[in-house]
Amino acid sequence: MAKTTAEATEAEWRALYDAADELKALAPWEWMLDSDLFAVRDPERGQIGYCCVMGNLGEHYALAVYLGADGLRGYREVASGAYEERPAEALFAQRCLMVSFEDRELLDKDSYAQIKALGRKYRGRQAWPELRDYTPGYVPWRLEPPQVRFLTVAIQQTCDVAQRFRDDEAYLVGPDEGQMLLREYVGGEWKERWHRPEVATQAASEPPPPVDELRLKRLAGRRLKRLGVWEADRLLFPGAVQGEKGGRPYYPPTLLIVDSASGMVLPPMITKPGAWRQAFQGHLLDLCEQMDGAPREIQLRDEALAALLAPIADALKVRLRRSADLPALDDAREGLLEAMGLAGPDDMDFP
């Protein structure tokens, strides 16, 4: 059943915009909250999408389909208020497909071109559909053909579920706590059952790679100087990088390390999404080799970064200490952003 075409067909795009128009006309955000989640299984790939209707406050009308356990984890982190003080960071926690309804001047140029190519017309505020894939670390991007087809199905199922929920507020309440309504295509028809979703933890979804043991053993065998206390954090560089021509722009993951006493910024490591774990481990080894030494202690906020660097720290007898207060690093980060003409330090936070 899977298709291999590089671009969605005109008929597939028309079906998606038809579904988006139906959603906008139905306006389920008038009676649904963003906490009224339900699930739809992709009939083509089998992946579960967790559907969230947004717009009850009248500010941002949208349907987000959070993809799999990672997507649901990102949704729950945002819903828990984890990013209230750093709202820009929430963008990088989301793994979802989304249809939102925007003002014309806010519409992405690709979306506008697609609408014009299909000969569709929209008028007024928050009337123009924008269809996007959100992947952590990347700029929101146009949909691939399987995503076009799945988002179409998810919107159609949302319209059905929303009308049932409007007539019966208990419709989405499972018989047992933690269960969620799941719609799936079985035996030629859409059926529903209760589903208990699995939610990935950050540690489970981002396992640390194996350390270069031979290199680490050689380094541990040297008489390394003790270099004081370093402050370290993993950040998202705030400027998007294009990468390959025509490819999807991304925000480069960056490892920033600052000497706590002097405020000296050590050479940073800037890499690509998906490659940062091994690159950050290698960079710490590079610094220790080049400086013929290792810090007495590394202070850091981030649990995932601590787990990543722990094997190296153990071998080199470096203490890792979790601390919310990293003044030298925050000063360095703010200075870097000011030099780039950007607003403030939170623009580089890594989810």
316, HSE (Cβ side, Cα atoms, 13 Å)? 32
pLDDT digit string, tens, across residues 40-63: 999 999 999 999 999 999 889 999
Tell me: pLDDT of 73 over 70: yes
Amino acid at residue number 166? R
H/E stretch holding 195 reads strand 189-195
SS3 content of the chain, % helix, strand, coil (to 5): 40, 25, 40
Domains of the chain with bracketed CATH = 10-195 (no CATH), 206-348 (3.30.420.10)
Confidence of residue 230 (pLDDT cuts 50, 70, 90): very high
Q: For the CA atoms of the chain, what is the radius of gyration?
A: 23
Confidence of residue 89 (pLDDT cuts 50, 70, 90): low
* pLDDT confidence of residue 179: 95
Q: Which two structure tokens, joined as six digits, stand for 187?
A: 């035996």
**Chain-centre distance for alpha carbon 313:** 28
Tell me: pLDDT of 130 over 70: yes
Confidence of residue 251 (pLDDT cuts 50, 70, 90): confident
* pLDDT confidence of residue 345: 39
* Residue 20: φ, ψ to 5°: -60, -40
Tell me: pLDDT of 2 over 80: no
Amino acid at residue number 233? D
Tell me: pLDDT of 87 over 80: no
Amino acid at residue number 232? A
- DSSP designation for 293: E
* pLDDT confidence of residue 7: 86
Q: What is the DSSP string of 151-191?
A: HHHHHHHHHHHHHHHHH-TTTT--SSTT-EEEEEEETTEEE
* pLDDT confidence of residue 158: 98
- Strands of the sheet containing 253-259, edge to edge, are 269-270, 253-259, 229-236, 297-300, 319-322
Judge residue 71's burial from the number of C-beta atoms within 10 Å of its C-beta, 0-12 exposed, 13-18 middle, 19 or more buried: buried
Is there a contact between 197 and 180 (Cβ–Cβ < 8 Å)? yes
Confidence of residue 351 (pLDDT cuts 50, 70, 90): very low
Is there a contact between 34 and 53 (Cβ–Cβ < 8 Å)? yes
Amino acid at residue number 235? L
Q: What is the Cα–Cα distance from 179 to 173, expressed in whole angstroms? A: 8
Contacts of 239 (CB under 8 A, 6+ apart): 251, 340
Listed residue (132, 110, 349) closest to 251, CA to CA: 349
* pLDDT confidence of residue 83: 66
Confidence of residue 6 (pLDDT cuts 50, 70, 90): confident
pLDDT digit string, tens, across residues 275-295: 888 999 999 999 999 999 999
Vertex 280: Cα angle to 275 and 281 (nearest 5):
110
Alpha helices in the chain (DSSP H): 10-26, 68-79, 109-117, 145-167, 202-205, 213-220, 276-291, 303-315, 327-339
Confidence of residue 1 (pLDDT cuts 50, 70, 90): very low
Tell me: pLDDT of 273 over 70: yes
pLDDT greater at residue 46 or residue 245: 46
Confidence of residue 206 (pLDDT cuts 50, 70, 90): low
Tell me: pLDDT of 66 over 60: yes
Is there a contact between 319 and 346 (Cβ–Cβ < 8 Å)? no
- DSSP designation for 297: E
- Range from 139-148, 161-170, 213-222, 339-348 carrying the lowest mean pLDDT: 339-348
Tell me: pLDDT of 3 over 90: no
